[in-house]
């Protein structure tokens, strides 16, 4: 019951926000991508009710909005986590062990790329190249590029930036391990 | 035939006024009593901590009661030494400092600005000839370099149009506007400029086709959708010298008869988007963009479009679809965009570096440009050096320079005493070239013959620790993910090739896989519409051509010769080398897979080990007890 109420509220506010943004654009198809970019900037992702508003406004079939939203890597259809972890897998990062860094994040956060942790604290994704190959391997954490990483440095970032909760989670994991 | 004399004089007069103002403020910046501090603050500089250095220097200046002008500039290409700081103080030549952190920043303020000690221990060199200290440009690498497109990068404030104007910016546009569009096209044709996006199509010819094609309005587009992993020169130019690209686009618009231009930048480059937006705004305010530019009667508007992250949109027809608000699917060419492009109208699409070359060609003349480079490839090429190379960053060389000169003389070679194995050139469309190919002169044609291509100019150096099968797998994973799905052979063929490569790297390779890969590669090349599919097999074909033995070792012996493929290696602690009282590896292990046995020797639990290599790094070099073994069954079984 409560969950449905919250969901309805979320939908209403997404629709309101969408209409507010749409007013700034002319009704031409070539504005579709800039509109979706603005929406995602405001809401963090593209909720279904907001995409429906866009289709109605541009007078195009809903499937075409969905088609564009799913074609481009920039758009996401699920809510993001509070903290965003973007592991660079460009060529330079790959040769310097980017895959090992990705695995380290996966291990610690317990999620795969494209997923958000259950508590919505973190989401994890890969990026093709952030263009600072000198610092390889790189992970962008909440918009800040962290360079020259190693699996131990990943732990260091988690502990120093997101301290206590994560430390507790680690401890719990340690206890589980020692039981085994 | 030139345009009417009165019109030409009007254009020159308006421009001279702009230039006079710009020169005055530029000179004021440098000749004031205050020292000038330039800090490299492009994305690479920021990642290395430029913002913190700026803050530290500002705080120190305030604490000491000193005044200095701090200017955020772009990227000089020497990314290995970021953050870079240049200080110009009267009585001294401008000095370039590298590897500056907050402490060194504060010291520069105290020692140099207050006390005339220039801290030469942090200096890379002076930026002008002088009698006090060696010039930075005396470094051996500059014998090979020829800085044209990067000449303003790191020297001017990219958010300040007056800096660009003061360094002869927009002089090319002014010369262009005094002539007829046809003459501009002739000049560009005569210069021999070829498209820098990878394919190398003659730019002047493209413009001419567009100009002659019926249909109005016409459009010009700057393709700044730099998506190749490992290439970052377009980002550097957009962030460090956005006006040079904008000027090139305006000239292109004038030459082909377009009144509207687009700049298509990846949304993943937020700083480039911001600085380009500022540049457009400033040019408009100076009357260099908009209605009746400098009184020439030419109207031109530019719109900034943010690409949403699809590699295929670097392909021109897909890029057009994306501006039209559709998924970025390429279509068959012909018709080429020059005859039928954006909204069905004639459209010219040029790469960032192509457009940045244009103002210089018009200003300095086609002959000057044609004097650089080789017979069929004119001008300079910019490379992004990354991977296992000492001097990572950008370099600009005349076409025809050899790969060996770029990698060893400019890039400083492979660090850590490791052996050079291959260079990956041209990103996912390019290929891997071995040591034997290093004496190839770099131009559009010779690289294609060797099986690679110039592509966007990403150059990733690989050493003995890199597995060539894994590199091929890496690029296929990328192209397979980015295939738009329109052509069957690209959509399914890349998937099948990737699966075979994954099997090989994980020890499931079979006899006959190599032949199958070769067949599929030819089919995917033949059956794809756009360059993404047609070049996707290149990384496989070149690694097979030059490093076939590595494929065979993976398939027949289940062994990875470079000790890279994690399924084919195991970490092992040599009991005879393990120093029993040392615990370095145990503590370092991220998954607690290392334990101590009854003899106090450390043992890795192979079941738990995730092969991250942390223990190998942690083991003190005097013991060197952790080794990688391939195939993994070389690890002695416990009794």
Assembly ipTM: 0.87
Same domain flag for A101 and A131: yes
Distance from CA of A143 to the nearest CA of B (A): 11
Nearest CA in chain A to B617: A150
Q: Which residues of A68-84 are buried (b: 16+ CB within 10 A; e: fewer)?
A: bbebbbbbbeeebbebb
What is the extent of the structural domain holding A109? 83-179
Residue B64, phi then psi, degrees to nearest 5: -85, -5
Q: How far is A71 from chain B (nearest CA, A)?
A: 6
Looking at the structure, tell me whether residues A64 and A89 fall in a common domain. Answer: no
Say if residue A66 is in the same domain as residue A90: no
Q: A145 in a domain, yes or no?
A: yes
CB spacing of B387 vs A71 below 8 angstroms: no
Neighboring chain A residues of B230 at a CB cutoff of 8 Å: 90-92, 129, 133
Element (H, E) at B525: helix B513-526
Residues from chain A contacting residue B613 (CB–CB below 8 Å): 97, 100
CB atoms within 10 A of CB B368: 14
Q: Do A173 and A114 fall into the same domain?
A: yes
Nearest to A128 among B229, B267, B328 (CB): B229
Q: Which of B230, B456, B567, B589 to mutate to test the interface with A (most CBs of A within 10 A)?
A: B230
Please report the pLDDT score of residue A169 as a whole number: 55
Residues in B closer than 8 angstroms to A32, CB to CB, are 325
Which residue, among A133, A136, A180, would best test binding to B if mutated, counting the most B CBs under 10 Å from its CB? A133
In chain B, residues 318-347 whose CB comes closer than 8 Å to chain A: 322-328
Write out the two tokens for B450: 């060797």
The C-alpha atoms of residue B179 and residue B356 are separated, in whole angstroms, by 20
Which residue among B44, B229, B308 sits closest to A90, beta carbon to beta carbon? B229
- Cα three-residue angle A153-A157-A158, rounded to 5 degrees: 115
- As a whole number of Å, the end-to-end CA separation of chain B is 93
Please answer yes or no on whether B229 and A100 come within 8 Å at the CB atom. Answer: no
| B29 min Cα distance to partner chain A (Å) | 31
pLDDT, position A177:
46
Contacts of B309 in chain A (CB under 8 A): 72-74, 128
Which position has the token pair 């070792």?
B553
Asked whether residue A97 falls in the same domain as residue A64, the answer is: no
B549 in contact with A at a CB cutoff of 8 Å? no
Query: Would you state the torsion angle of the CA atoms of residues B54, B56, B58, B59, taken in this order, to the nearest 10 degrees?
Result: 160
Question: Residue B139: what pLDDT?
Answer: 87
pLDDT at A73 over 60: yes
Strands B258-266 and B218-224: parallel
- One domain for residues A161 and A90: yes
Show the 3-state SS of chain A. Answer: CHHHHHHHHHHHHHHHHHHHHHCCCCCCHHHHHHHHHHHHHHHCCCCHHHHHHHHHHHCCCHHHHHHHHHHCCCCCCCCCCCEEEEEECCHHHHHCCHHHHHHHHHHHHCCCCCCECCCCCEEEEEECCCCCHHHCCCEEECCEEECCCCHHHHHHHHHHHHHHHHHHHHHHHHHHHHHC
Report d(CA B425, CA B450) in Å as an integer. Answer: 11
β-strand A122-127 against A139-141: which pairing, if any? unpaired
Q: How distant is the Cα of A138 from the closest Cα of chain B, in angstroms?
A: 10
H helix or E strand, kind and range, residue B107: helix B102-107
- H, E, C per residue of B43-65: HHHHHCCHHHHHHHHHHHHHHHC
Q: Is residue A131 part of a domain?
A: yes
A110 CB within 8 Å of a chain B CB: no
Q: Are B251 and B173 in contact (CB under 8 A)?
A: yes
- Residue among B306, B327, B591 whose CB faces A37 most closely: B306
CB contacts, 8 Å: B310 with chain A? 71-73
Contacts 24+ apart (CB under 8 A), B518-522: B518/B544, B520/B493, B520/B496, B521/B497
Q: Say if A78 falls within a structural domain.
A: no
Neighbouring C-alpha atoms within 13 Å toward the C-beta of B422: 25
| B305 contacts A74? CB cut-off 8 A | no
Residue A43 lies in a domain: yes
- pLDDT tens digits for range B142-176: 999 999 999 999 999 999 999 999 999 999 999 99
In terms of CA atoms, which chain B residue is nearest residue A140? B47
Locate B341 and state its tokens.
């492009």
The answer on A159 and A109 residing in a single domain is: yes
A74 touches chain B (CB under 8 A): yes
Which residues in B509-536 are b (16+ Cβ under 10 Å) and which e? beeebbeebeebbebbbeebbbbbbbbb
Specify the CATH number for the domain of residue A166.
3.40.30.10
| A166/A126 same-domain check | yes
**Chain-chain contact of A95 with B462 (C-beta, under 8 angstroms):** yes
Q: Compute and round to an integer the Cα radius of gyration of chain B.
A: 27
Q: Does residue A98 lie in a domain region?
A: yes
Q: Using an 8 Å CB-CB cutoff, list chain B residues near A107.
A: 590-591, 610
**Which among A74, A75, A92 has CB closest to B386?**
A92
A94 and A166 share a domain?
yes
- The domain boundary residue, chosen from A71, A103, A126: A71
Instruction: Give SS3 for B140.
Output: helix
Q: Do A56 and A100 fall into the same domain?
A: no
Domain boundary among A71, A106, A125: A71
pLDDT score at A178: 44
Residues A92 and A173 in one domain: yes
- In this prediction, the residues of chain B whose per-residue pLDDT falls under 70 are 1, 638-639
Please check whether residue A76 lies inside any domain of the structure.
Answer: no
H/E stretch holding B549 reads helix B548-557
Instruction: List all residues of chain A from 2 to 21 with a beta carbon under 8 Å from chain B.
Output: none
DSSP B342: G
For B342, nearest residue in chain A (alpha carbons): A30
**Is the separation of the CB atoms in B215 and B346 below 8 Å?**
yes
- pLDDT-derived band at A174 (thresholds 50, 70, 90) equals low
The structural domain count of chain A equals: 2
Q: Name the band, by pLDDT with cuts 50, 70 and 90, for residue A180.
A: very low
Q: Is residue A77 part of a domain?
A: no
- Does residue B386 belong to the interface with chain A, where contact is any CB pair within 8 Å? yes
Residues of A in contact with B227 (CB under 8 A): 128-129
Give the CATH number of the domain where residue A41 resides.
1.10.10
Q: Among all residues of chain A, which has the CA nearest to that of B475?
A: A91
Q: Are B530 and B321 in contact (CB under 8 A)?
A: no
Distance CA A42, CA B479 (A): 31
What is the predicted pLDDT for the residue at A172? 53
Nearest to A71 among B80, B328, B387 (CB): B328
- Residues of chain A contacting B612 with CB distance shorter than 8 Å: 100, 103-104, 151
Identify which of B93, B138, B149 has the alpha carbon closest to the alpha carbon of residue B120.
B93
User: How many residues make up chain A in this entry?
Assistant: 180
- Please check whether residue A174 lies inside any domain of the structure: yes
Pick from B343, B247, B338, B309: nearest CA to B18: B247
Mean of pLDDT values over A68-87: 92
Measured over the CA atoms of residue B467, residue B473, residue B476 and residue B481, the dihedral's sign is negative
Is A20 in the same domain as A54?
yes
Interface contact B614-A152, CB threshold 8 A:
yes
Domain stop point among A27, A46, A71? A71
């Amino acid at each position: 019951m409560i969950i449905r109420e919250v969901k309805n509220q979320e939908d209403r506010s997404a629709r309101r926000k969408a209409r507010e943004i749409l007013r700034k654009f002319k009704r031409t198809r070539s504005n579709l991508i800039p509109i979706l970019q603005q929406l995602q900037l405001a809401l963090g992702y593209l909720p279904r009710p907001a995409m429906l508003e866009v289709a109605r406004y541009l007078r195009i079939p809903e499937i075409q909005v969905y088609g564009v939203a799913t074609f481009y890597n920039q758009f996401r259809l699920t809510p993001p986590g509070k903290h965003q972890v973007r592991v660079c897998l460009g060529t330079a990062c790959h040769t310097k062990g980017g895959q090992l860094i990705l695995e380290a994040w996966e291990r610690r956060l317990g999620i795969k790329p494209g997923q958000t942790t259950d508590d919505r604290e973190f989401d994890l994704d890969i990026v093709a190249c952030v263009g600072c190959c000198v610092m390889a391997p790189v992970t962008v954490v909440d918009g800040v590029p962290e360079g020259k990483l190693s699996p131990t440095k990943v732990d260091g970032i988690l502990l120093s930036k997101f301290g206590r909760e994560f430390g507790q989670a680690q401890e719990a994991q340690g206890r589980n391990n020692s039981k085994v | 035939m030139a345009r009417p004399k009165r019109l030409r004089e009007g254009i020159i007069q308006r421009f001279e006024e702009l230039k006079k103002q710009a020169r005055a403020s530029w000179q004021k910046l440098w000749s004031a009593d205050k020292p000038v501090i330039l800090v490299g603050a492009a994305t690479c500089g920021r990642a290395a901590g430029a913002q913190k250095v700026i803050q530290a220097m500002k705080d120190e200046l305030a604490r000491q009661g000193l005044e200095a002008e701090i200017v955020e500039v772009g990227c000089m290409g020497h990314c290995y030494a970021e953050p870079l700081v240049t200080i110009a103080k009267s009585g001294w030549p401008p000095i370039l400092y590298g590897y500056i952190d907050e402490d060194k920043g504060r010291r520069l303020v105290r020692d140099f600005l207050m006390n005339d000690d220039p801290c030469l221990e942090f200096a890379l060199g002076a930026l002008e000839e002088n009698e006090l200290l060696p010039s930075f440009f005396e470094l051996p690498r500059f014998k090979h370099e020829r800085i044209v497109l990067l000449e303003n990068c790191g020297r001017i404030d990219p958010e300040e149009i007056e800096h660009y104007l003061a360094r002869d910016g927009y002089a090319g546009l002014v010369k262009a506007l005094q002539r007829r569009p046809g003459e501009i096209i002739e000049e560009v044709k005569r210069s021999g400029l070829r498209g820098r996006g990878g394919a190398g199509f003659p730019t002047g010819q493209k413009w001419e086709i567009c100009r002659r094609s019926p249909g109005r309005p016409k459009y010009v587009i700057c393709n700044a959708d730099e998506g190749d992993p490992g290439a970052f020169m377009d980002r550097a130019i957009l962030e460090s010298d956005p006006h040079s690209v904008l000027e090139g686009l305006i000239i292109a618009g004038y030459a082909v008869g377009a009144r509207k231009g687009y700049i298509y930048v990846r949304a993943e480059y937020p700083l480039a988007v911001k600085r380009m937006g500022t540049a457009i705004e400033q040019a408009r305010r100076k009357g260099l963009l908009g209605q009746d530019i400098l009184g020439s009667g030419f109207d031109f508007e530019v719109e900034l479009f943010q690409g949403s992250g699809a590699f295929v949109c670097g392909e021109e027809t897909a890029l057009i679809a994306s501006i039209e608000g559709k998924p970025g699917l390429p279509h068959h060419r012909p018709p080429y965009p020059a005859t039928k492009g954006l909204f069905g109208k004639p459209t010219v699409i040029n790469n960032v570096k192509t457009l940045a070359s244009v103002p210089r060609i018009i200003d300095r003349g086609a002959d000057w440009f044609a004097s650089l480079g080789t017979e069929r490839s004119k001008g300079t090429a910019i490379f992004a050096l990354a991977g296992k190379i000492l001097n990572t960053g950008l370099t600009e060389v005349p076409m025809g320079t050899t790969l060996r000169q770029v990698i060893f003389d400019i890039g400083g070679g492979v660090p850590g005493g490791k052996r050079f194995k291959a260079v990956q050139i041209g990103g996912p469309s390019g290929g891997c070239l071995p040591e034997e190919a290093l004496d190839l002169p770099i131009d559009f044609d010779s690289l294609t013959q060797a099986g690679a291509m110039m592509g966007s100019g990403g150059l990733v150096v690989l050493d003995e620790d890199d597995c060539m099968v894994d590199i091929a797998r890496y690029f296929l994973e990328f192209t397979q993910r980015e295939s738009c799905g329109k052509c069957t052979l690209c959509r399914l063929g890349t998937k099948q090739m990737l699966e075979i490569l994954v099997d090989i790297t994980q020890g499931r390779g079979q006899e006959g896989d190599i032949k199958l890969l070769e067949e599929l590669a030819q089919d995917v090349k033949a059956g794809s519409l756009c360059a993404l599919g047609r070049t996707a097999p290149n990384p496989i074909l070149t690694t097979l051509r030059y490093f076939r033995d590595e494929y065979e070792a993976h398939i027949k012996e289940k062994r990875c010769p470079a000790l890279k493929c994690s399924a084919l290696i195991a970490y092992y602690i040599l009991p005879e080398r393990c120093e029993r009282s040392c615990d370095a590896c145990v503590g370092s292990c991220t998954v607690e897979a290392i334990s101590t046995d009854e003899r106090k020797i450390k043992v890795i639990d192979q079941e738990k080990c995730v092969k991250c290599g942390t223990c190998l790094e942690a083991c003190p070099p005097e013991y060197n007890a952790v080794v990688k073994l391939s195939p993994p069954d070389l690890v002695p079984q416990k009794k």
